[in-house]
Amino acid sequence: MPQVLKITLNVIIMAIPIAFLILAASRLRHLFRGEEDPGKRAILAKRAGLAVMGAFASFVGAFAIGEPLADPGGWLGVGMVASWLVPLVLIGLVVRFKPSVAQVLLAILTAAAVAFSLWAMFDQRIRDLEDRNGPFTMVVLLVVAIAVAALGYYRPKPAAIMLLVCALVPALFATISPLDAGPGAVLYAIVGLPMVVTAVLYLASQRISSRGAGSRFSGGGNLGRPTSA
pLDDT per residue over 97-138, tens digit each?
A: 999 999 999 999 999 999 999 998 888 888 888 878 778 888
**Cut 0.85: pTM above it:** no
Query: So where are the chain's domains?
Result: 3-214
First and final C-alpha spacing in the chain: 81
Distance CA 86, CA 82 (A): 5
Q: Is the pLDDT confidence value at 156 over 70?
A: yes
Distance CA 146, CA 13 (A): 18
- pLDDT, mean over the chain: 80
Asked whether the beta carbons of 114 and 140 are under 8 A apart, the reply is no
Q: Label residue 179 by pLDDT band (50, 70, 90).
A: confident
Residue 180: its pLDDT value, please? 65
pLDDT per residue over 41-91, tens digit each?
A: 888 889 888 988 988 888 888 878 877 877 777 888 888 889 899 999 999
Q: Is 152 left (phi over 0), alpha (psi -120 to 50) or beta?
A: alpha
Distance CA 130, CA 34 (A): 48
From the number of C-beta atoms within 10 Å of its C-beta (0-12, 13-18, 19+), residue 16 rates as middle
